[in-house]
Amino acid sequence: MYERVRELAVEGSIYGYYHPAAQGVQNHICVLPCGGIFEHPIYKWTVSDLKYYVKYHAGDQPVDSMFNGFVFKGYSVEKGRYMHPLHAAFGQQANRQDWEQWTESLFAPDTNLKALYALADDSPLDVWVSIPYPFIDDKVFGELHGSALYFDTTERRFAAISWWIDQFIARWHAESYLSQKLHFRGFLWQRESINEYDDELVKRTNAYIRTKGFLSLWLPYYASYGTTNWKDFNFDVAAYHTNYYGNTMYDYQWVNAVSYSASYYNTGIQMIYGKGPIYNGTHHLDHFNLGLPEYQGYMKHSFIVYQFPNQTMKTIYSENIVDYIRIYMFIKGLYTKIPYPNMVY
């Protein structure tokens, strides 16, 4: 497969990326992970956490806008209980109480949605939230509509998802003042690939979201099942994760190939700037550099979603202000190529 990726990389991009104007959504949105398996995860984002995302800071003062939208991605609401499919092996699967607590967490005082509201100005920020994943299991999820619910069929799993979506929408409408500064766009499907046993569930979920007047978002790993026919699953918006980290077997050509595929299949691109053993010191520069017009052109021609694994914009601002400035410049379309030692393009 890697050889085919190299072949795609030299074919180039045709700028056929998904563009946010197609659905009227804002560009340059950022994923905010809530909970997780790592030490000291953030369960609720405060004003102090979010201010470096919402506004570009210089001298610790806000001087311009930064990201235009946010995805609240719920991994867990408390340690050891997980709503994300890849984390369940590290603890227990979330039940109805956890799903309800996820909604409560999103609307909690002074955090998450309300912290964003406090920071937003006259230009509303886009908001997306993740749907808890219904693991196939013979354990009781909880009581729903007067009877115990198990996730042993697509019908029962969909019953839980549609119930949760309705509960969230009702809460959003109940706290209608939030819409003055926040524009709720829709829901994120948590899993980054589509298992075959989820085919029908995903289609039904996304169709249901449309009946409610909202959009469905998917952030898949490149080349995972469903990425080439993502529209067949009724998703409205998708953006490929490049799978490029710097300290794995895949070099920068992987970003080129993923960009070509994204332009061909009309998706957006995810910008990754992570911290940890698999991330080298220049992987984020490759993501930025290759988005320029002389390379793959996604900086100005694509819907872009940003992720910062194992770090936050607050830590980037305090520990690496130069990269904080580069992120801002990329968002604004003002970024210029940054060379580094041994760079080959």
pTM, rounded to two decimals: 0.94
Q: Is residue 143 part of a domain?
A: yes
**CATH number of the domain encompassing residue 121:** 3.20.20
With 80 as the cut, is the pLDDT of residue 3 above it?
Answer: no
Q: How far apart are CA 87 and CA 31, in angstroms?
A: 17
Q: What is the pLDDT of residues 13-29, one digit of tens each?
A: 568 999 998 899 999 99
187 within a domain of the structure (yes/no):
yes
Count of positions (residues) in the chain: 345
38 assigned to some structural domain: yes
Alpha-carbon distances, residue 215 vs 55, 188, 209, 237, 253 (angstroms): 26, 9, 6, 8, 32
- Asked if 254 and 243 count as a contact pair (C-beta separation under 8 A), the reply is yes
Residue 40: predicted pLDDT = 83
How many distinct structural domains can be found in the chain?
Answer: 1
User: Is the separation of the CB atoms in 147 and 131 below 8 Å?
Assistant: no
CB 29 within 8 A of CB 71: yes
In a domain, 122, yes or no: yes
Please write the tens of the pLDDT for every residue from 237-271. 999 999 999 999 989 999 999 999 999 999 999 99
**340 belongs to a structural domain:** no
In a domain, 337, yes or no: no
Question: Do residues 91 and 72 touch, judged by C-beta distance below 8 A?
Answer: no
When the pLDDT of each residue in the chain is averaged and rounded to a whole number, the result is: 93
At residue 215, does pLDDT exceed 50?
yes
Q: What is the pLDDT of residues 146-184, one digit of tens each?
A: 889 999 999 999 999 999 999 999 999 999 999 999 999
336: in domain: no
- Within a domain: 112: yes
CA distance 98 to 77: 7
Radius of gyration of the chain (CA): 20
Residue 298 to residue 287: CA distance in whole angstroms: 10
Domain of residue 250 covers 2-331
Report pLDDT digits (tens) over 262-308.
999 999 999 999 999 999 999 999 999 999 999 999 999 999 999 99
